[in-house]
Structure 1
Amino acid sequence: MAKNKGNNPLNQGLSPFAQTYFHGTKADLNIGGFIEPGFNSNFGKRKNAKYIFLSATLDASIWGAELAFGDGRERIYLVEPTGPIEDDPDLTDKKFPGNPTKSYRSTHPFKVVGEVTLWQGHSAEQIKTMKDALAKLKEQGIDSLNDEE
């Protein structure tokens, strides 16, 4: 049986089991619509995003929804990349070798193919701890690698 080669979504047809990807946000998106780069980021300096993000783990996408800017309802979408994806440098390399969070980024749109409507979020204490840690990094001038041009 042929296996899916790497993280290239264009090779998904080689395996009967397609990789599931998630995107956590507070945005209200439509099934069949697309998530595209070029809008204000949910993280970092909130400038126009060069990249968009997805994860192959539900937990990482839950963090994305919980930490996203805005007052909207936290949502988890099922998405399909339309082009190549690469490891998210904020969550890989030296911080988490081997990409255990299975977090990726792309400059190509993601098609919204579904929504996960039943999921368990992190505790209020865990969210506060994470937000405090992110605020401390910001105070130290440590920004997201994804904000770099």
Structure 2
Amino acid sequence: MKEEAQVPVKLVDIVQVKLVREKTISYKERRIRSSHDAYKIFQEIVGDSDREVFAIACLSTCNEINCFQIVHIGYINISIVQPSDVMKAAILSNSASILAFHNHPSDDSTPSPEDIAITERLVEAGGIIGTNVLDHLMCTSNGFHTLK
């Protein structure tokens, strides 16, 4: 009679995923009403970084900011993000929509083919999970370009 080999027990972690507040800022304009409002909040938080910074503002159904997240800090001319990383804070903060931003340290706000491609991927991912991507702004120290 053959003995059955003992299979080791698989340990499974029970986890909880949370949104953690790092800090709080005052934003006097309660709602985002325009791309210019969005640009102002990005500049207030990110400023003139010497590297590309990709961030999102997660919004309620009334376009009030639920949270702001810096998703990725890249290099002088590129910041690579995945839709799953971008949408994570939106899901955890129960947001209806997001605004995506990133800066162009070169001070040229013209969108690159990669900027357009990630915007299309974000819109597609947002459509699947029910989170509307309202806009993607390429920001510089003296203005912005919108992909709206």
TM-score range, shorter chain: under 0.3
Q: Which has the larger radius of gyration?
A: 2
Q: Which has the higher contact order (CA 8 A, sep 6+)?
A: 1
